[in-house]
């Protein structure tokens, strides 16, 4: 059964008139379509009712919320029919943690949505930082469906611009939307719901075109594809159908209460500044923009690295001084690790220094490495605060103790380093790839030429240089020859790391949603999605013949 839910009867009534629905308890029913109307009971009421209906009707395979939304962006016009790919909740101008991701229909545009908890909020400049559309019920529907493990879609019609006059006009006069388009979507979903194979394909790919679904269904039956092989097919469809990177825009500054603003290296008077109570909820609810969050870190300041992460083959500690970065590399695990791409920069330096001192006293491993840039990019983010300068000065006291600080980066932002005296236990480690790979996968990053020029300058001043060939793209090995020749010219070369493109199951799923094209050559091998063993061994021999010593990461 297909369930269509709506908060107000006026929103769904044009569709009700198209079919001979009959009322049965809470639902209007026709064929395999049921309609529930909440009659303006509010988001919480809608959520409770949806849970009740889905719990009592196990034959409902697809649940759809249809209704009106206000538009918050010029990308979304009045009258547009769209789905929500993610929805959040805001109450009294405070984002509530735990946004809900939603499946989409490929043939329709998808946007981010926000629901309000029993109040009007028409500050569109504020709301647009978190979403493209606004309503009062989508979040509650999405949470209800997810809470009992059902498949739910939020389908919206943009009816107003979220201004009081516009909202009141819709309330008084109604809103005429493209009923035929919505009808077409509903009829396709009803058709899909009846067919087990089509339903599986739709759930995994978002394809609702019946002709395409029939073709895929025939392929599955002709080839007698197993469950595992069907999953591989769905992954390939996603890999070949989605864009590599998403549009980025905007530049707002969010500052958590209690942060020392004099530690922020930005002209705040020239930016839109939003003061927030707690960075966590804000960070996880922002749209995928370049808004920057400044906060004080609480809890975990250091995290032990996996084995085989350090040159010595043991372990070290990642310094969690920032999350995300300004670049947009297709393969970056951060695309799914956090719910937002927005950078967060922590400014309570002293707490980090205390944590590092304590770790040095308790952990007697030598050499001992501390990494800045594991969850961000050290130099790319350096211009926003003076954390790096403070960190380098702090580590000078460990210069004779085999305790190292490594700044990991793809950036050529080295001016502050050139103004700082090198120290024997400070390593600047550059992630490098041939220019064709940078062009394709490392969006917004400096070119290879600029990175090599930065290395040459730092090398000439006496900084220890690390080279991180990670990830290596095995199918492009021939492109690495010239790069390896340049690496061998570095005088103060501390270490070279080689690591092949790889993802665990969770990261693979996240990359599949965000930038799937990068996954084309990977197979599931030895608990990871990676190049097959033959490819990796061939690549390893390639590097052995062209480089001196190097260490293999996570292999």
Q: Which CATH number fits domain 2-193: 3.40.50.300, 3.90.220.20, 3.20.20.70, 3.40.50.1580?
A: 3.40.50.1580
* Domain locations along the chain: 2-193, 195-241, 258-552
pLDDT of 249 strictly over 70:
no
Q: What is the pLDDT of residue 272?
A: 81
Helix, strand or coil, per DSSP, at residue 318: strand
Distance of CA 30 to the CA centre of its chain: 40
In this prediction, residue 242 has a pLDDT band, given cuts at 50, 70 and 90, of low
Domain spanning 258-552: CATH 3.40.50.2300: no
Q: What is the pLDDT of residue 174?
A: 87
Tokens of 493: 């070369």
C-beta separation of 177 from 157 below 8 A: yes
Average of per-residue pLDDT values in the chain? 91
Tokens of 301: 């300041």
Across 106-135, average pLDDT:
90
In this prediction, residue 282 has a pLDDT band, given cuts at 50, 70 and 90, of confident
Reported for 142-147, long-range contacts at CB under 8 A and 24+ positions apart, including other chains, are 142/65, 142/84, 142/87, 142/100, 142/102, 143/47, 143/100, 144/46, 144/47, 144/48, 144/50, 144/51, 144/54, 145/50, 145/54, 145/63, 146/100, 147/51
Kindly report, residue by residue over 290-325, the tens digit of the pLDDT: 789 999 999 999 999 988 788 887 889 999 999 998
Q: What is the pLDDT of residue 33?
A: 96
Q: What is the pLDDT of residue 246?
A: 46
- Candidate ranges 89-98, 167-176, 242-251; pick with highest mean pLDDT: 167-176
Q: What is the pLDDT of residue 96?
A: 84
Kindly report, residue by residue over 121-166, the tens digit of the pLDDT: 888 988 998 999 999 999 999 999 999 999 999 999 999 999 988 8
Kindly report, residue by residue over 154-210, the tens digit of the pLDDT: 999 999 999 988 888 898 888 999 999 999 999 999 999 999 999 999 999 999 999
Give the range among 234-248, 267-281, 424-438, 468-482 with minimum mean pLDDT: 234-248
311 DSSP 8-state letter: T
Q: What is the pLDDT of residue 236?
A: 83
Tokens of 285: 């609810």
The Cα–Cα gap between 372 and 386 comes to 13
pLDDT of 244 strictly over 80:
no
Higher pLDDT, 536 or 270: 536
pLDDT of 52 strictly over 90:
yes
Q: In what order do the strands lie in the sheet with 344-346?
A: 272-276, 252-256, 292-295, 344-346, 322-323
The DSSP-derived string for 337-396 is HSS----EEE--HHHHHHHHHHHHHH---SSEEEEE-SSS-TTTTGGGBSHHHHHHHHHG
pLDDT of 117 strictly over 90:
no
User: Which pTM was predicted?
Assistant: 0.82
Q: What is the pLDDT of residue 247?
A: 47
The Cα–Cα gap between 395 and 372 comes to 12
In our burial notation (b when 16+ CB lie closer than 10 A, e otherwise), range 31-64 reads ebbbbbbbeeeebeebbebbbebbeeeeebbbbb
In this prediction, residue 288 has a pLDDT band, given cuts at 50, 70 and 90, of low
pLDDT of 464 strictly over 90:
yes
Tokens of 106: 């490929």
The Cα–Cα gap between 437 and 429 comes to 19
């Amino acid at each position: 059964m297909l369930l269509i839910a709506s908060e107000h009867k006026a929103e769904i009534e044009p569709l009700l008139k198209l079919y001979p629905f009959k009322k049965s308890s809470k639902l209007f029913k026709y064929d395999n379509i049921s309609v529930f109307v909440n009659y303006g009971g509010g988001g919480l009421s809608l959520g409770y009712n949806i849970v009740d209906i889905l719990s009592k009707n196990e034959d409902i395979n697809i649940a759809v919320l249809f209704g009106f939304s206000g538009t918050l962006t010029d990308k979304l016009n009045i009258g547009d029919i769209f789905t929500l790919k993610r929805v959040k909740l805001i109450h009294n101008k405070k984002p509530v943690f735990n946004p809900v991701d939603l499946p989409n229909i490929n043939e329709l545009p998808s946007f981010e949505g926000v629901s309000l908890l029993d109040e009007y909020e028409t500050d569109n400049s504020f709301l647009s930082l978190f979403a493209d559309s606004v309503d009062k019920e989508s979040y509650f529907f999405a949470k209800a469906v997810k809470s009992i493990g059902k498949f739910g879609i939020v389908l919206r019609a943009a009816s107003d611009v979220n201004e009081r006059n516009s909202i009141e006009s819709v309330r008084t006069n109604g809103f005429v939307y493209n009923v035929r388009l919505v009808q077409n979507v509903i009829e396709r979903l009803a058709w899909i719901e009846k067919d087990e194979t089509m339903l599986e394909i739709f759930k995994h790919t978002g394809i609702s075109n019946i002709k395409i679904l029939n073709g895929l269904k025939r392929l599955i039956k002709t080839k007698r594809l197993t469950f595992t092989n069907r999953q591989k097919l769905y992954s390939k469809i996603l890999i070949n159908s989605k864009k590599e990177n998403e549009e980025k825009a905007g530049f707002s500054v969010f500052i958590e209460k209690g942060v020392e603003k004099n530690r922020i290296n930005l002209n705040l008077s020239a930016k839109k500044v939003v003061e927030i109570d707690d960075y966590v909820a804000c960070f996880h609810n922002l749209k995928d923009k370049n808004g920057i969050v400044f906060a004080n870190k609480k809890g975990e300041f250091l995290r032990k690295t996996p084995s085989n992460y350090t040159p010595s083959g043991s372990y070290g500690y990642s310094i969690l001084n920032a999350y995300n970065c300004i670049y947009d590399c297709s393969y970056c695990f951060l695309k799914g690790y956090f719910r937002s791409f927005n950078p967060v920069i922590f400014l309570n330096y002293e707490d980090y220094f205390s944590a590092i001192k304590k770790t040095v006293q308790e952990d007697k491993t030598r050499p001992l490495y501390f990494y800045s840039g594991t969850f961000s990019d050290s130099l790319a983010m350096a211009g926003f605060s003076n954390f790096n300068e403070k960190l380098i000065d702090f580590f000078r006291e460990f210069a004779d103790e085999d305790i190292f600080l490594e700044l990991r980066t793809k950036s050529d932002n080295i001016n502050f380093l050139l103004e700082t005296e090198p120290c024997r236990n400070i390593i600047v480690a550059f992630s490098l790839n041939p220019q064709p790979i940078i062009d394709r996968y490392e969006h917004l990053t400096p070119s290879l030429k600029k990175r090599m020029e930065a290395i040459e300058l730092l090398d000439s001043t006496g900084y220890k240089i690390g080279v991180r060939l990670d990830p290596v793209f095995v199918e492009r090995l021939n492109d690495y020859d010239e790069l390896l020749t340049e690496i061998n010219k570095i005088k103060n070369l501390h270490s070279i790391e080689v690591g092949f493109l790889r993802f665990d199951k969770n990261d693979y799923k996240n990359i599949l949603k965000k930038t799937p094209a990068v996954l084309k050559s990977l197979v599931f091998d030895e608990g990871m999605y990676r190049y097959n063993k033959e490819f990796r061994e061939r690549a390893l021999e390639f590097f052995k013949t062209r480089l001196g010593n190097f260490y293999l990461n996570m292999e």
